[in-house]
Structure 1
Amino acid sequence: MFGLDQFSNTHKIINEGINEKLHFGAQVYISQDSQILADFAIGKNHPDAIDPLTELKPSTILPWMSCSKMLTAVAIAILNERRMLGYDQLVGDIIPEFSCNGKESITIKHLLTHTSGIRLLPLQWDKLSWEATVAAIAKMPIESNWVPGEKAGYHIGTSWLILGEIIRILDGRPVEQFLNEEIFTPLNMEHSGISISKDFYLNSGLDISGLYRTDTKSPYSSLEKYLDSLNLVRPGATGRGPIKELGQFMEMLLNKGSYANKRILSERSVEELSSRQREGLLDLTFNKTIDWGLGFMIDSKCHNRSYPYSFGTYCSEETFGHNGNQSSTAYVDPEHDLVVCFVFNGMPGEYEHNKRLKLMNDSIYQDLGLD
């Protein structure tokens, strides 16, 4: 439980959430100036846990949900560095069948900044293969009265599957293999990935846990049903690992693309990803003005006193990162040389989670004396 004593306010917020049955446990990883300050877990990994072996540990593998989008964005940046694509390149140049139904002018940058206008596609995701899913997205129409780049609205999954297909076409490797070889392995993220089979989940012998819906009368696993899906890879949602390994990824970004003497990205690429590429636009999904880099949310308190999935009251204006649906967050605060990552294993609904998220973020800064 490294660093737990320093984070008494943070510890209190986690325990209060356990008592209120918002979650059953949480993992926390925090580093500053390249020094690990916190790497601990509190609580249980299952709603019915009694056996001590079911305690949540720092090494427990947990879902990251939409924090996974940052990994895909970095993969695209790697291909951009290798001159295999450009951010302003038309998606239809790479996937010709995508160029239809109003989507002809959509660029890779539009996908990364959630301005492409292909937010919603009513599919049973678990019933379709990767190929069938990509084909369905390619055929879908753009939203009415939407000009790419001029409107914004958070895209949960569609654009990220297309980005994954772009990686597969240009590089030749499936996106999960690309991430394993280009990001996870170089960053020593030994227990991380974006694809997990049902057999591995049940029989690997590793400490793997799920996320549980706690906004219902009886908590239930929100993700295990997808283990029987025809496609186990969703580049914007299926990342998993101990939260400390996601912290190593964020430390690479704080260090301008380098980690443990290994360079993953150039400083210029990190600057492009983490600077405001979309600024001052109302996000039609969250109904708040939120700024974005290329796949990364940027602190937007300059536009709103509060907004969903923010990084809290005290972070600097240049803070960038991402959140996972009602569960996780990971961000870099460059002004304070700070990396913050945590994940709850309970999903209590949007309202309760955003209240919990603000308390958690603010408590971390208070414990660090940065409030």
Structure 2
Amino acid sequence: MPNITLHGDCDPRFAALAKAFVENFASRDERGAAVCVYQDGVKLVDLWGGWADEAQTRPWREGTVVCMMSVGKGMAALCVWMLVERGLIDIDAPVADYWPEFAGGGKGDISVRTLITGKAGLLYADAAPDGAGYDWAAMTRAYELQVPEWVPGTKHGYHSASAGYLLGELVRRVDGRPIDRFLREEVAVPLGADYGYGTGWLEQDRVADIIPNPDSHTFIQTRDHSTKLGRAWRMRPASPDHYNDKRLRAALMPSTNGHGNARAVAHIYAALACGGTLDGVTLLSPDTIDRLREESWFGPCEMTDRIFRYAQGFFLNEPLMSPMGTNPRAFGHPGAGGALGFADPEARLAFSYSPTVMCAGGGIGERCAKLVEATYAGMAA
């Protein structure tokens, strides 16, 4: 067993979760991570431990943050739904009503709902130069030109690389603020949550390094441009250490460079688990929360060929790829490597996990799955 010191607090009801967290370090190759659980708007578990770098020279501290990758897509969807809530976006109106150039490539009839549910067929940005991912204007222009991979609405696929740019530009066109600023000013800062796109909003010595796993499906396929994921992610600038590249940390890439920790993400989802309001901050109404977690598809994904259960910009609870406890209506978003944040409104519970070392395979991995399982075991005890 590694010499690991556990930090933080844990309500006695969740002793099994604390035990599973320690076991992750002992037998599941955990290096540095945090896990957090809120219920009824109260933080009941807030644990962290291990290291913030592969060389084990920097301890994971209370304020450490890490790249949580695609967890940021859920945050982008939240921003869109906040504008829907405010009457500034009609979820069934064409995207081109708000972003006229989006109509290029025969996309004039694609609705916001079709886009946010992954049914638009906009998996790729073929007109973008290789490595253009840090150039927002170049990427959004490429998506304006892109022809859908299928007749929009007839198929479904995880918009792995594109969702952040597409939803982010929609937010910018409607609100006027870039999505990173919108998220910080409307969500993170009001709630006091350490989360944002990139790392320009925090001290750099607080940022933990990602430790890639050569057995991660995402890690493998995004680097092979002959794969579908590789075609989608070829816009990512070449780097021997992409996830920790200073350019990534400085850029706006909402599909992949959301940085935070379990405490921050659980805090945001806690608001959604409690009817949309927490600590005097209202993000959404209960009715809108019910709308965004309506199932839009459940089956093979055109991008990954995996079985996904998808809502309206969020994943729904599904035991293989996105396990979120016992409630089939729980919703949230995983990140490549095993990060996760979700809300269970019926249990008024929110959960998040933020690791440094990526998991193997294509789901959230054994470490995260064990933590979710232990969380619900504690609730049932």
What TM-score do you get using the length of structure 1 for normalisation?
0.84
What CA distance in whole angstroms lies between the structure 2 residues aligned with 1:296 and 1:179? 16
What CA distance in whole angstroms lies between the structure 1 residues aligned with 2:136 and 2:36? 33
The residue aligned with 1:2 is 9
- Which of 192, 204, 223 is residue 195 of structure 2 equivalent to? 192
Q: Does 1:234 align with 2:253?
A: yes
- Which of 338, 352, 359 is residue 348 of structure 1 equivalent to? 359
CA RMSD of aligned residues (A): 2.6
Q: Is the 8 A contact 2:276 2:282 kept in 1?
A: yes
CA deviation digits over 1:168-210, x for unaligned, max 9? Answer: 1221111111112111122122x3211324xx77xx3652212
Q: Does 1:95 align with 2:99?
A: yes
The amino acid that maps onto 2:136 is: W
Q: Is the 8 A contact 1:211 1:222 kept in 2?
A: no
Q: Does 1:292 align with 2:310?
A: yes
Q: Is the 8 A contact 1:67 1:239 kept in 2?
A: yes
- Aligned pairs (5 A) from 1:275-290: 275-276=294-295, 278-290=296-308
What CA distance in whole angstroms lies between the structure 2 residues aligned with 1:13 and 1:338? 19
Q: Is the 8 A contact 1:129 1:231 kept in 2?
A: no
After superposing the two structures, state which structure 1 stretch, 100-109 or 322-331, moved more: 100-109
Q: Is the 8 A contact 2:9 2:46 kept in 1?
A: yes
Give the secondary-structure state (helix, strand or coil) at the position aligned to 1:240.
strand
The amino acid that maps onto 1:26 is: A
What CA distance in whole angstroms lies between the structure 2 residues aligned with 1:119 and 1:137? 9
Give the secondary-structure state (helix, strand or coil) at the position aligned to 1:30.
strand
What CA distance in whole angstroms lies between the structure 2 residues aligned with 1:328 and 1:2? 20
Aligned length, in residue pairs: 348
- Aligned pairs (5 A) from 1:1-371: 1-3=8-10, 7-19=14-26, 22-50=29-57, 54-121=58-125, 124-125=130-131, 128-143=134-149, 146-189=150-193, 191-197=194-200, 204=203, 206-215=205-214, 221-225=241-245, 227-228=246-247, 232-276=251-295, 278-300=296-318, 306-311=319-324, 314-350=325-361, 353-369=364-380
The amino acid that maps onto 1:36 is: K
What CA distance in whole angstroms lies between the structure 1 residues aligned with 2:312 and 2:80? 10
After superposing the two structures, state which structure 1 stretch, 171-180 or 344-353, moved more: 344-353
What CA distance in whole angstroms lies between the structure 2 residues aligned with 1:42 and 1:231? 26
Q: Give the C-alpha shift of residue 3 in structure 1.
A: 0.6
CA deviation digits over 1:304-351, x for unaligned, max 9? Answer: xx432332xx42111111111113111112232211111111013325
| Aligned-pair identity (%) | 23
Q: Give the C-alpha shift of residue 9 in structure 1.
A: 4.0
What TM-score do you get using the length of structure 2 for normalisation?
0.82
Give the secondary-structure state (helix, strand or coil) at the position aligned to 2:372.
helix
The amino acid that maps onto 2:268 is: F
What CA distance in whole angstroms lies between the structure 2 residues aligned with 1:230 and 1:18? 27
Q: Give the C-alpha shift of residue 32 in structure 1.
A: 1.8
Give the secondary-structure state (helix, strand or coil) at the position aligned to 2:37.
strand
Give the secondary-structure state (helix, strand or coil) at the position aligned to 1:368.
helix
What CA distance in whole angstroms lies between the structure 1 residues aligned with 2:142 and 2:47? 42
Give the secondary-structure state (helix, strand or coil) at the position aligned to 2:365.
helix
Is the alpha carbon distance of 1:330 and 1:127 closer, same or farther for their aligned partners in structure 2, counting shifts above 3 Å? closer
Is the alpha carbon distance of 1:231 and 1:268 closer, same or farther for their aligned partners in structure 2, counting shifts above 3 Å? same
Q: Give the C-alpha shift of residue 268 in structure 1.
A: 2.0
Q: Give the C-alpha shift of residue 33 in structure 1.
A: 2.5
Q: Give the C-alpha shift of residue 135 in structure 1.
A: 0.5
CA deviation digits over 1:8-57, x for unaligned, max 9? Answer: 5434444444355743121010122233221010211111114xxx2212
After superposing the two structures, state which structure 1 stretch, 163-172 or 287-296, moved more: 287-296
Q: Is the 8 A contact 1:14 1:42 kept in 2?
A: no
Q: Is the 8 A contact 1:319 1:331 kept in 2?
A: yes
What CA distance in whole angstroms lies between the structure 2 residues aligned with 1:34 and 1:60? 22
After superposing the two structures, state which structure 1 stretch, 11-20 or 175-184, moved more: 11-20
After superposing the two structures, state which structure 1 stretch, 286-295 or 338-347, moved more: 286-295
Give the secondary-structure state (helix, strand or coil) at the position aligned to 1:340.
strand
Gaps of 5+ in 2: 1-7, 216-239
Give the secondary-structure state (helix, strand or coil) at the position aligned to 1:2.
strand
Give the secondary-structure state (helix, strand or coil) at the position aligned to 2:190.
coil
